[in-house]
Chain A
Amino acid sequence: MSGAERGPSGRAGGGDDRRPAAGDRAKEHWLVRPVSLRRIKIVSVIVLALTVLPDLFVEQHAAFGVEDAFGFYAAYGFLACVAMVLVAKALGAALKRGDRYYD
């Protein structure tokens, strides 16, 4: 895992803009070169900012009163996912077994 692993923050960002390339060079694929990774990171941050920006002038229909807050969906999506990962982690501590458990 260690050598090839790019680390947890290596690809922080939207993560939807990754596309495979046909040109598989002899050494490193262009997608995994450090330069590309840095660019992907920068583009991701810009995309994230761009999705929140419209909240300044687009009005959400606030059926329940909070959805029109600035960046509501961004914050809610992020926090909900963090919560779900933590819940899964906690449950995993109790429920995880080796994958030959039933064999």
Chain B
Amino acid sequence: MTSVPPGLILIAGGMLLPLLRGRVRALAVLGLPLATLALVWAVPVGASSTLPFLGWELAPVHGTVTGRLFATIFSITAFAAGLFALPRARPLELAAALVYAGGAVGVTLAGDVVTLFVFWELMAVASTTVIWASDQPGAWSASMRYLLIHLLGGMLLMAGLAAHVAGTGSVAFQAFPTEGIARWLILAGFLVNAGAPPFSAWIADAYPEASPSGMVFLSAFTTKAAVYALLVGFPGTGVLVPIGLYMVFYGIIYALLENDMRRILAYSIVNQVGFMVTGIGIGTEMALNGAASHAFAHIIYKALLLMSAGSVLHATGRRKCTELGGLFRSMPATTVCGAVGALAISSFPFTSGFVSKSMVSQAAVDEHAMVVWFLLAAASAGVFLHAGIKFPWFVFFQRDSGLRPPDPPAPMRAAMWLFAALSVAIGLVPGPLYALLPHAVTYEPYTVPHVVAYLQLLLFAGLAFFVMLPLMRRTETIALDLDWIYRRPLAVLARDMAQRIDRSRRAAERTGQIAWARLASGLFQAYGPGGALGRTRPTGTMLLWVVLLLGAFVILHFSQSG
């Protein structure tokens, strides 16, 4: 077995990408993810490569069923998002995106926490670069806020992992012990990346500032790598259930208030990850299968939705619902693909979301968690409301904005069709996906009562949308979130502190300069060409003074001893 992590292919390729030109570069962007996919599948489950490092045995490549599932979808998404990015993305974005994808693949195959952490932080740096490379006006400052949050999360994770390794003496990445401060620090570090409260706002703050293709990359890796880490490290951790449920409803409510189409979809990432986090918290085999398969399905349909929104942004340069509408006339492919993504995210029967998410609900039934089940059912209806209808309705239908942009270029359309087909294929034939899951699947999604129940839930959610439409009129607003704390009061404090430091530094500099100038001029006066001590004197005068001093010394000496 090779001990080279498959992710390194993407990372090295990404770093060399700027040297390539034209067709060769395009070939690399598409070929490297496929090569990685092949290498991922060449790692047998249970196999582990070892690498001695500072007295520890690291396992940079460790084959597990869950890891392979995530590495597979990460590679596939890197390919499709790369295809989507080809016509427009800057070389820097493509290079950073490949490194980013490589980091994500590296995380899923890491057998020890040191490797995990290295790839984890590499993802943070590379994803920040993806945002930097954007052509959107707010990208720079958004990327800085994004980096700050991820450095904070990385710090928590680093502290937790260090405490864990010091306490247990083991660097293996597996379920963490059920108590101790290390556990909570690691959990917090993972949750920051998953978009859990109180750090949910960074997703909708940073991702929509990326380029049309950049956001497709961003939506796939960071939050889902966090889901993977939680799946392995914290299955059945009870506190994840309320956290996940909070995320589910946070996403819905904020998406309902949002006007920017890509921010709507960003909030729905938090919403969907909330379903996964809830499943991990329930922790039964059914729930973990649900969380893992939902992550797989979600990456595809979320990328699809963002490709659809990205195509609109690419063609119109507009992001706000208030400036869009009626685009179905001239963008049929984008509309159909967006609608497929919208149905899949809503768990409509015969789409991928239906066969994955319902396992989490089923797990709640099996565990007799009534409140959890009712909340998940309400949230499922809410997904249709905020993403399933709201996004396509306001962008492609509602009033006619008068815009008649064309569908995007062929590579972008091909990427959309590919993921639309996958979303439907997984929904129609869930068997192959179920075969990849960490536990044996005993679940049958297509029973008549289940299909009927979901159709009722979703279609009447749709009815509610149109009944409530007067209340949903878009306004040119944002909704304040907890990021207000670090964007307003903390920012003011930081700016104030920076000013004070700057001022006192200047004052100190000035005082220093004055003191130095005084000293220099004093020395100059004394020792300079005209100074008293710098003057040359005749030898006779010096001799006279020496004689006088010696004489005085002799007289004093004898007068004392006498």
**Interface of A toward B, CB cutoff 8 Å:** 1, 4-6, 8-9, 11-16, 18-22, 24, 29, 31-32, 47-48, 51-52, 54-55, 58-61, 63-64, 67, 71-78, 80-89, 91-92, 95-99, 101-102
User: Considering the chains assembled together, what is the distance between the CA atoms of A72 and B453 in angstroms?
Assistant: 8
Contact yes or no, A51 B448, CB < 8 A: no
Query: Which among B55-63, B234-242, B373-381 touches the partner chain?
Result: B373-381
Contact yes or no, B256 A78, CB < 8 A: no
CB-CB under 8 A from B476, the residues of chain A are 98-99
User: Considering the chains assembled together, what is the distance between the CA atoms of A55 and B460 in angstroms?
Assistant: 15
Nearest-Cβ distance from residue B256 to partner chain A, whole angstroms = 4
CB-CB under 8 A from A60, the residues of chain B are 449, 452-453
By beta carbon, the residue of chain B nearest A91 is B253
Contact of B332 among A9, A20, A63, A87 (CB under 8 A): A20
By beta carbon, the residue of chain B nearest A25 is B329
User: Considering the chains assembled together, what is the distance between the CA atoms of A62 and B467 in angstroms?
Assistant: 29
Within 8 Å of chain A (Cβ to Cβ): is B490? no
User: Considering the chains assembled together, what is the distance between the CA atoms of A68 and B510 in angstroms?
Assistant: 81
**Selected A-B contacts with CB under 8 Å, 23 pairs:** A11-B466, A18-B397, A19-B339, A58-B448, A59-B449, A64-B373, A64-B374, A67-B453, A73-B453, A78-B381, A81-B465, A82-B464, A82-B468, A85-B385, A85-B468, A85-B471, A88-B253, A92-B477, A96-B257, A96-B477, A98-B478, A99-B476, A101-B480
User: Considering the chains assembled together, what is the distance between the CA atoms of A71 and B252 in angstroms?
Assistant: 24
Contact yes or no, B399 A5, CB < 8 A: yes
By beta carbon, the residue of chain A nearest B402 is A4
User: Considering the chains assembled together, what is the distance between the CA atoms of A12 and B467 in angstroms?
Assistant: 6
User: Which of B455, B475, B479 gathers the greatest number of chain A CB atoms within 10 Å?
Assistant: B455
* B contact residues, range: 35 or more
Contact of B466 among A12, A63, A101 (CB under 8 A): A12
Contact yes or no, A92 B257, CB < 8 A: yes
Contact yes or no, B468 A97, CB < 8 A: no
Known interface pairs A51-B460, A73-B457, A95-B479; 19 further A-B residue pairs with C-beta atoms within 8 A, sorted by A's residue number = A12-B466, A13-B466, A18-B397, A20-B328, A29-B328, A29-B329, A31-B328, A48-B459, A48-B460, A67-B453, A80-B378, A81-B382, A84-B252, A85-B468, A88-B252, A88-B256, A91-B257, A92-B257, A102-B487
User: Considering the chains assembled together, what is the distance between the CA atoms of A1 and B323 in angstroms?
Assistant: 10
By beta carbon, the residue of chain B nearest A12 is B466
CB-CB under 8 A from B374, the residues of chain A are 64
Contact yes or no, B398 A24, CB < 8 A: no
Within 8 Å of chain A (Cβ to Cβ): is B228? no
Q: Top 3 A-B pairs ranked by shortest CB distance?
A: A81-B464, A80-B378, A73-B456
CB-CB under 8 A from B326, the residues of chain A are 4
Contacts A15-B466, A73-B456 given; indicate if A80 touches B382 (C-beta within 8 A).
yes
By beta carbon, the residue of chain A nearest B377 is A76
CB-CB under 8 A from B452, the residues of chain A are 51, 54-55, 58, 60, 73
CB-CB under 8 A from A55, the residues of chain B are 452, 456
Contacts A81-B461, A88-B253, A92-B257 given; indicate if A16 touches B343 (C-beta within 8 A).
yes
By beta carbon, the residue of chain B nearest A4 is B399
Nearest-Cβ distance from residue B58 to partner chain A, whole angstroms = 43
Within 8 Å of chain A (Cβ to Cβ): is B348? yes
CB-CB under 8 A from B487, the residues of chain A are 102
Contact of B400 among A18, A32, A88 (CB under 8 A): A32
Q: Per-residue CB proximity of B429-456 to A under 8 Å, as 1/0?
A: 0000000000000000000110011111
CB-CB under 8 A from B453, the residues of chain A are 60, 67, 73
Contacts A1-B399, A24-B330, A95-B480 given; indicate if A77 touches B466 (C-beta within 8 A).
no
Nearest-Cβ distance from residue B262 to partner chain A, whole angstroms = 13
Contacts A73-B457, A99-B259 given; indicate if A16 touches B385 (C-beta within 8 A).
no
Nearest-Cβ distance from residue A81 to partner chain B, whole angstroms = 4
User: Which of A32, A54, A71, A81 gathers the greatest number of chain B CB atoms within 10 Å?
Assistant: A81
Contact yes or no, B464 A76, CB < 8 A: no
Contact yes or no, B377 A80, CB < 8 A: yes
User: Considering the chains assembled together, what is the distance between the CA atoms of A92 and B348 in angstroms?
Assistant: 29
CB-CB under 8 A from A84, the residues of chain B are 249, 252-253, 256, 378, 382, 385
By beta carbon, the residue of chain A nearest B257 is A92
User: Considering the chains assembled together, what is the distance between the CA atoms of A12 and B464 in angstroms?
Assistant: 9
CB-CB under 8 A from A18, the residues of chain B are 328, 339, 397
Within 8 Å of chain A (Cβ to Cβ): is B365? yes
Contact yes or no, A99 B477, CB < 8 A: yes
CB-CB under 8 A from A8, the residues of chain B are 466-467, 469-470
CB-CB under 8 A from A9, the residues of chain B are 466-467, 469
Contact yes or no, A85 B456, CB < 8 A: no
Contact yes or no, A88 B460, CB < 8 A: no
CB-CB under 8 A from A96, the residues of chain B are 257, 475, 477-480
User: Considering the chains assembled together, what is the distance between the CA atoms of A18 and B326 in angstroms?
Assistant: 12
By beta carbon, the residue of chain B nearest A9 is B466
Contact yes or no, B335 A20, CB < 8 A: yes
Contact yes or no, B400 A78, CB < 8 A: no
User: Considering the chains assembled together, what is the distance between the CA atoms of A95 and B254 in angstroms?
Assistant: 10
